[in-house]
Amino acid sequence: MDYGTVKIDITASTMSQDPSLGFSRVFISLSRFSSQGSYPDSTFRDPIKLQSFSPNYVYQRVYDKCHDHVLSRRITDEIVDQSQRRDLPQGPLFMMLYVDFTQKECIVLPPSSAPSRTTTTDSKQEICSICLENMSVSESDTKPSLQLPQCKHEFHEDCFIKWSVRHNSCPLCRRPA
């Protein structure tokens, strides 16, 4: 699994369980989120049964379930941290781990497909591609426009100033501004 653009969040719910069981049980639920929506990925149906919370032992049991080194290490760290909580009595624990994967997805268009202004056939009407409002001549006093020297793309001046606080490039073609 590629973790370059994926964020992994692990939350846990932990409680003590009947000492007569003699082992701790860990259930793991995986969910995936993206800009296109969310959906459950899987829940390991069988719990991971742990006799101890030594990191190497836990890691091997987790890896046997998910077969991924990075994910197994992150889950192991959370299990070991939960086992060391001082507010829980010593003995077998019941844990439910929720592992959420969040992936940022971006659609990037080539500069040639991003026009600097939108023109209607009836009359020349430019639209600021940052705020998507008209850039008509009558508005030029209240909302002055700005044309970038490198690429000649045009925007409302206020819109581009707000944009440039976070980015040092043209919003359309990404050339340095």
CATH numeric code, 111-166: 3.30.40
State yes or no: pLDDT of 27 exceeds 70: yes
Contact status, residue 83 vs residue 93, Cβ threshold 8 Å: yes
42 sits in which H/E element: strand 37-43
- Locate CATH 3.30.40 in the chain: 111-166
**Quick one: average pLDDT of 104-133?**
59
Statement: the pTM of the whole predicted model exceeds 0.75: no
Residue 166 has what pLDDT? 82
State yes or no: pLDDT of 24 exceeds 70: yes
Residue 60 has what pLDDT? 94
